Amino acid sequence: MADMVKADTDLIWRALASPQRRAILASLRDGPRTTTDLVERFPSQTRFAVMKHITLLRKVGLIRTKEEGRRKLNIINALTIRLVYEELVDGYQDLWARQLLDVKRRVESKGNQDE
């Protein structure tokens, strides 16, 4: 099970390595968008390229599609984004907390020396 999760997160990180895919995700932060809307937001890329990026983002679970009549809306999958966040932050949270406490102690001990 852990290997499957690791494999999934490896695919997610590979998908996030692309600046174009990160830009698509950023465009979806404000809300759902159709593929046509996303294509129009990236005029330097072909429709095919944008659709390929969307397909990959959907495949790794970073976005999902919701059908509204004839329209298909691309939506950020908050659960997967949370998984990525937790993998990145949780791994370093203890280290950051220890370092901040060390800085706090140094500042406080220096303040006590000045008195």
pLDDT in tens, 41-60: 999 999 999 999 999 999 99
**Count of domains observed in the chain:** 1
Q: Which domain holds residue 60?
A: 2-114
CATH number at residue 95: 1.10.10.10
pTM: 0.73
Burial of 21 (0-12, 13-18, 19+ CB in 10 A): buried
pLDDT of residue 2: 41
Indicate whether 3 pLDDT > 70.
no
How far from chain centre, in Å, is Cα 33?
17
Query: b/e per residue, 45-83, with b = 16+ CB within 10 A?
Result: beeeebeebbebbeebbbbbeeeeeeeebbebbeebbeb
Indicate whether 90 pLDDT > 80.
no
